[in-house]
Amino acid sequence: MDNARAGFIIFRWFSFYIIHCSLSIKMPILNNRLTAEQYEQNFSDIHPPFDSREAALVEANRCLFCYDAPCTKSCPTSINIPKFIKQITTDNVKGSAYTILDANIMGGGCSKVCPVEKLCEGSCVFNLLEEPPIPIAKLQRYSTEKAITHKWPLFQRKPSTGRRVAVVVLVRRD
Ligand code: SF4
């Protein structure tokens, strides 16, 4: 290796080292902190829960249980939405939670953060009637939260395959 090339490599490593050090220096928390109200607003629920069982039943009973339901077609996980809503109307909340989680094991979390106005609720037929769509996310949350709170054993754990999965989390420090 000639001297010019060796010098170039040393220069590059030195540059990386300087950049790495400068990124590692903890920056002080400056002004621009959010106010308590802004935190409250930014971290509040997108789809807050129903106030009561009756409120959930009123909304569930508005559903038309469409054949070839457009809401299900719009769901990336193809949850059978009319089915789980129907199960809520008959107070079969456990069955409803099963229907949701069988299609999407993350159904509880999705009910809180999914952009439903662009997906299932956005395609609900009530939009065509210029009426509020069925609050599918809130109904999904209603069922899945009950299942989680009561620790209903909806699924059986399969025997171990002996394999392991590693989860790597990268934390960025600014
Ligand atoms: S499109 Fe709306 S009314 Fe029809 S099944 Fe889905 S949620 Fe119910």
State the pLDDT at residue 82: 98
In single-letter form, the type of residue at position 157 comes to R
Residue 34 forms part of a structural domain: no
Residue 97 Cβ inside 6 Å of ligand 1? The answer reads no
In the chain, the amino acid numbered 28 is P
Q: How sure is the predictor about 147, in pLDDT bands with cuts at 50, 70 and 90?
A: very high
Q: Is 135 in the pocket of ligand 1 (CB under 6 A)?
A: no
Mean pLDDT along residues 14-40:
66
Residues 6+ apart with CB under 8 A from 114: 137
Is 157 part of any domain?
no
Residue 71 burial (C-beta neighbours within 10 Å; 0-12, 13-18, 19+): buried
Higher pLDDT, 14 or 142: 142
Q: Which of residues 1 and 57 earns the better pLDDT score?
A: 57
Most confident of the ranges 1-5, 35-39, 72-76: 72-76
CA dihedral 81, 155, 163, 169 (to 10 degrees): 50
> Ligand 1: distance of its center to the CA of 102 in Å?
20
* Mean pLDDT for the chain overall: 87
In a domain, 169, yes or no: no
Residue 136: name the closest of 96, 94, 92 by CA: 96
94: in domain: yes
pLDDT computed for residue 5 by the predictor: 65
Q: What is the domain range of residue 113?
A: 53-149
Q: Quick one: which of 90, 88, 81, 152 has its CA closest to 121?
A: 81
Cβ of 79 less than 6 Å from ligand 1: no
Helices (H), 104-165: 107-113, 120-123, 136-149
Please report whether residue 35 resides in a domain: no
Question: Ligand 1, from 67, 68, 71, 139: best to mutate by most atoms within 8 Å of Cβ?
Answer: 71
Residue 121 lies in a domain: yes
The runs of H, that is alpha helices, within 64-168 are 70-74, 81-89, 93-103, 107-113, 120-123, 136-149
Ligand 1 centroid – CA 106 distance (Å): 21
Instruction: Judge whether residue 135 has pLDDT over 70.
Output: yes
Split at pLDDT 50, 70, 90, the class of 88 is: very high
pLDDT at residue 28 tops 70 = no
Question: CATH number, domain at 73?
Answer: 1.10.1060.10
Q: What is the pTM of this model?
A: 0.74
- Confidence at residue 25, expressed as pLDDT on a 0 to 100 scale: 55
- Domains of the chain: total: 1
Instruction: Check: CB of residue 61 under 8 Å from CB of residue 110.
Output: no
How confident is the model over 145-157, as a mean pLDDT?
95
105 lines ligand 1 (CB under 6 A): no
